[in-house]
Chains A and B, each alone.
Chain A
Amino acid sequence: MSDVYAVLQKIVGKDYVSNQAEERYFYGRDPGLMPPHEPDYVVMPKTTEEVQEIIKLANREKVPVTPKGGGLALTGLVIPLKGGIVMDMKRMDRIFEVNEKARYVVVEAGVTHGALQSYLQKHHPHLRHSIPDSPPIATIVANAVIHGQGRLTQQRGFNSDMVSGLEVVLGTGEICRIGSCALSPYWFSKGPPLPDLSGLFLGWFGSTGVITKLGMKLYPCKKIRDVMLFLTDKAELVSEVIRKLAHTEMVEDIVVTAQPIPLRFRGNFYIVLFITGDLEEEIEFKKKMAWDALMVYFESRDGGFVSVTPDMKPSFLAMPSKDTTRFADVSKGGGFEYSGPITPIDKYPVYLKKLEELASKYKLFYSSAARVIDGGHSMMFSFSYTFNRANPDEMKRAKTALDEAAEFALEEGGVIWKPNINEQQMIMERMDPNTLKLMTSIKHLLDPNGIMNPGNWEAK
């Protein structure tokens, strides 16, 4: 194995490889609740060619490779379950191109959402991308790989739906382009009109190859952005409220929040609507459409809009939302994790009931933020529980609650988002056998030596 270290040094330079206990410790875990497992090496490539050399080395030596971006999935997807090499991609941080007219950007694998957001604001202020509420260190590529969601997801679908091309180092070491960029200098489509091969890599958590470049669609950045709050105390109305709002096609983003503290929040559901436009008149019109759509609830006294005072707005409008991260420290414990099944929106009330039931059963503090996806075709419902890192018992309770939430979601017909390895097994056990066979064949074809983030999407 010491030869591997020497070769890694030769590939990326001695400053960018470590086999020291400190890096192995840090890269052997994530902020969530999955058990740690340390890598043998941490390596930070700078170029696609260096990634390629590392993958070739890993194939020769049969050493596992786990690519890592921000490492914020919380479900252990970058924990190297079988050791080997963790490949921290964040040194690959170039933004190659923004095509103004075709509205896409091409980035390297380590470009963070924060960096792209800042770059667009400075150089292309009329364009934006779908910013997730994860911290800004989350990378564009890793977020797409886990089918992340962002502030444009209600209108445009999963962030992975917005991908417009890929460059991938396959598990066998070849460099491969996916989409229009496979034959053209333009990165406008990840598939159509060709066969869409991006599905061989998106959602696979690096177990089929390493994405080294990615094209991402950009969207108009409107001059004005505002927020509205609709409040109801009836969980059973939430899905219909969402349906009515989505029907207007006036709302950029819809998030439903539920939490027991502060007390004024308990038993209430805040439906947060984000409205954007270039003119005040446009904003007012969109607000009126949303208002009219929900007037029926005002008249029946089942809900109504709540005034958003100017001092409340910055926190709502911040992208990314620091409040999401702050949830980790509400009980001064430094930890939270969520199970975030993707589900039809009419499941909101049963999921909510389960969220509260599990919190009560395991004595946990909870919160939920449900994000509407793609015009209401589905939603991500988060079962979020905090835990104190200094309290192993509470960590165990939180993990048990999340396991039960995942099981529940599957029973209710949902699909677990960014599933941990145990949840992946639960999914594969329930999957159509021929679908599983197809996945297994694809995995074997793309990663014949089983070195790519092993343990993930491996049928037992």
Chain B
Amino acid sequence: MQQKDYASQIHRCFRCGYCKFPTDYSSFNCPSYRRFRFDSYSTGGRLWLIYAWLKGEIEWSEHFAEILYTCTTCKNCTEQCPMKFAPDIVDWIVGARSDMVEKGKIPPRVARFFEAVYGYGNPFKQLRSDRAAWANGTKKYASGDEYLLYIGCLGSYDENGQKMARSLVDILNTSGVSFGILGEEEECCGNEIYMLGETGLFQNLVEKNSQKFKELGVRKIVTLSPHAYNTMKNNYPAFGGSFELCHYTQLLNDLIKKNKIKPSRAKAKVTYQDPCFLGRYNNIYDEPRQILQSIPGIELVEMERNRRDAFCCGGGSGNFVTDLLAGSTDSPARVRAREAYETGAATLAVACPSCLTMLTDAVKAEDLDDKLAVKDISQILKELLSAK
């Protein structure tokens, strides 16, 4: 992990500002810079301030911590930075956060996030025994099942996430896929914990999850959330947790191609939000689109910023709970909701419970909720299977 080396490398940022843009320079694509507009909130600003902090040129302050934690780790900067160190930028930020965690110098909202996950296994301080309250009798994973369906904290506790989880379970049941869930035995995946820099707690979660998966003989995991997919695929192996991973959109796309799911006709104009942890982190851009395009009658229209240039919903790095970017018409989710609406689409399709909850709230805040429906791809598909 490059984060350990960040202190010896971070001076290399020239603060050229490429990190603020999408590929065509049409707008600002760094969520926190777009929200606050001070250069200090851009990636270059953050890196220069971290370097200043390391050199003792600025003192720690709550404002500094807030600047550091308003980064959603969406990886737009990595895509746009012209320097050779571009792939390491997020690790540098995570590394600095780790140092701040070790020193106990983090924003109160982030501290509460950690406390909740440590104490309850989820950031919402919900009871562990309620983790499967959404599941409505969904079968638990048993030896011999092909897939473990990993739901995650948002899918387990958030109202929108729960709807998404139920839709996916219904589709998988319809298609005859052999799967099961962990229910109340499931732990937080730790993706946000990792990105927020709590490496000790993250390691603890990885070990718990990996041990559980191994005990149950799990080989294949399908995740509801791109965040879980990302960390299990890219971070877990370093701790010995190596499993065959897929995101649910990959599995559903495969089932459609094999004719195991046949959605009925719909008439709708749909646009799609690329989740950062699916797209920029794992290069999965096509499968969600292929699902939507496989539905007869659906017209898929792209937002101006899409695929590697997609604008983050603002929910990454735990911001779906800490909400450090909220409170403005320039909040990323609200900017994105307006952009989706401008496509003329009636539905904004997502593939991530964080995007679902962030954008659902944003559409309401923008007073667009009667014009633009925010739905997860599993919900869209489920409705069309029911209508069959």
Residues of chain A at the chain B interface (Cβ within 8 Å): 15-16, 18, 20-23, 25-27, 31, 42, 44, 70-72, 88, 90-91, 112-115, 117-119, 121-122, 135-137, 322-323, 325-326, 328-329, 332-336, 388-390
With the chains together, A329 CA to B15 CA distance in Å?
A: 12
With the chains together, A321 CA to B13 CA distance in Å?
A: 17
Q: Could you give 7 example pairs across A and B, Cβ below 8 Å?
A: A25-B52, A26-B38, A26-B40, A115-B27, A137-B18, A137-B21, A326-B82
Chain A residues positioned under 8 Å from B63 (CB to CB): 20-22
Name the one of A16, A121, A329 contacting B84, with C-beta atoms under 8 angstroms: A329
With the chains together, A114 CA to B59 CA distance in Å?
A: 34
- A118 and B26 form a contact (CB under 8 A): yes
- A135 and B40 form a contact (CB under 8 A): no
- B49 and A26 form a contact (CB under 8 A): yes
Known: A322-B82, A326-B83. A27 touches B12 (CB 8 A): no
Interface residues of B in 11-50 (CB under 8 A from A): 11-18, 20-21, 24-27, 36-40, 45, 48-49
Chain B residues positioned under 8 Å from A325 (CB to CB): 14, 16, 18, 82-83
- B45 and A333 form a contact (CB under 8 A): no
- B17 and A25 form a contact (CB under 8 A): no
Chain A residues positioned under 8 Å from B20 (CB to CB): 137
Chain A residues positioned under 8 Å from B18 (CB to CB): 135-137, 322, 325
- B58 and A25 form a contact (CB under 8 A): yes
- A388 and B11 form a contact (CB under 8 A): yes
With the chains together, A1 CA to B219 CA distance in Å?
A: 65
Chain B residues positioned under 8 Å from A329 (CB to CB): 12, 14, 83-85
Name the one of B24, B37, B61, B82 contacting A21, with C-beta atoms under 8 angstroms: B61
With the chains together, A322 CA to B49 CA distance in Å?
A: 24
With the chains together, A325 CA to B14 CA distance in Å?
A: 8
- Measured between C-beta atoms, what is the minimum distance from B343 to chain A in Å? 15
B367 on the interface (CB 8 Å rule)? no
Known: A15-B328, A21-B59, A325-B18. A115 touches B67 (CB 8 A): no
With the chains together, A122 CA to B14 CA distance in Å?
A: 30
Chain A residues positioned under 8 Å from B52 (CB to CB): 25
With the chains together, A18 CA to B37 CA distance in Å?
A: 11
With the chains together, A258 CA to B87 CA distance in Å?
A: 29
B320 on the interface (CB 8 Å rule)? no
- A21 and B21 form a contact (CB under 8 A): no
B64 on the interface (CB 8 Å rule)? yes
- B14 and A31 form a contact (CB under 8 A): yes
- A22 and B16 form a contact (CB under 8 A): no
Known: A71-B39, A322-B82, A329-B83. A334 touches B11 (CB 8 A): yes
- Measured between C-beta atoms, what is the minimum distance from B76 to chain A in Å? 14
With the chains together, A329 CA to B40 CA distance in Å?
A: 21
- A335 and B14 form a contact (CB under 8 A): yes
Which 9 pairs, one residue from A and one from B, show the smallest C-beta to C-beta distance? A114-B25, A137-B17, A118-B26, A322-B82, A328-B14, A334-B12, A389-B11, A136-B25, A135-B16
B57 on the interface (CB 8 Å rule)? yes
Residue of A nearest to B15 (CB): A31
What number of B residues sit within 8 Å (CB to CB) of A? 38
- A25 and B11 form a contact (CB under 8 A): no
- A115 and B64 form a contact (CB under 8 A): no
Residue of A nearest to B18 (CB): A135
Apart from A21-B58, A388-B11, list 14 A-B contacts with CB within 8 A: A22-B67, A25-B40, A31-B16, A44-B38, A70-B17, A91-B37, A115-B27, A121-B24, A136-B17, A322-B82, A325-B18, A329-B12, A329-B14, A334-B14
With the chains together, A227 CA to B8 CA distance in Å?
A: 39
- B15 and A115 form a contact (CB under 8 A): no
- A25 and B25 form a contact (CB under 8 A): no
Known: A27-B39, A91-B37, A329-B83. A22 touches B61 (CB 8 A): yes
With the chains together, A70 CA to B44 CA distance in Å?
A: 12
Chain A residues positioned under 8 Å from B37 (CB to CB): 16, 44, 88, 90-91
Chain A residues positioned under 8 Å from B9 (CB to CB): 332
Instruction: Name, among B8, B12, B16, B328, the residue most crowded by chain A CB atoms within 10 Å (CB to CB).
Output: B16
Residue of A nearest to B63 (CB): A20
Over the window 314-347 of chain B, the binary record of Cβ atoms lying under 8 Å from chain A Cβ atoms (1 yes, 0 no) is: 0000000000000010000000000000000000
With the chains together, A27 CA to B26 CA distance in Å?
A: 24
- A334 and B13 form a contact (CB under 8 A): yes
Chain B residues positioned under 8 Å from A388 (CB to CB): 11
Residue of B nearest to A90 (CB): B37
- Measured between C-beta atoms, what is the minimum distance from B335 to chain A in Å? 14
With the chains together, A115 CA to B26 CA distance in Å?
A: 5
Name the one of A22, A136, A323 contacting B64, with C-beta atoms under 8 angstroms: A22
With the chains together, A23 CA to B85 CA distance in Å?
A: 25
Name the one of A20, A42, A328, A336 contacting B61, with C-beta atoms under 8 angstroms: A20
- B84 and A26 form a contact (CB under 8 A): no
Chain A residues positioned under 8 Å from B15 (CB to CB): 31
- A118 and B14 form a contact (CB under 8 A): no
- B61 and A136 form a contact (CB under 8 A): no
- Measured between C-beta atoms, what is the minimum distance from A379 to chain B in Å? 24
With the chains together, A135 CA to B16 CA distance in Å?
A: 6
Residue of B nearest to A27 (CB): B39
Chain A residues positioned under 8 Å from B11 (CB to CB): 333-334, 388-390
- Measured between C-beta atoms, what is the minimum distance from B311 to chain A in Å? 15
- B12 and A119 form a contact (CB under 8 A): no
With the chains together, A26 CA to B9 CA distance in Å?
A: 19
With the chains together, A16 CA to B64 CA distance in Å?
A: 17
Known: A27-B39, A329-B12, A334-B13. A22 touches B58 (CB 8 A): yes
Instruction: Name, among B13, B25, B26, the residue most crowded by chain A CB atoms within 10 Å (CB to CB).
Output: B25
With the chains together, A325 CA to B12 CA distance in Å?
A: 12
Chain A residues positioned under 8 Å from B36 (CB to CB): 15
With the chains together, A90 CA to B30 CA distance in Å?
A: 15
- A18 and B16 form a contact (CB under 8 A): no
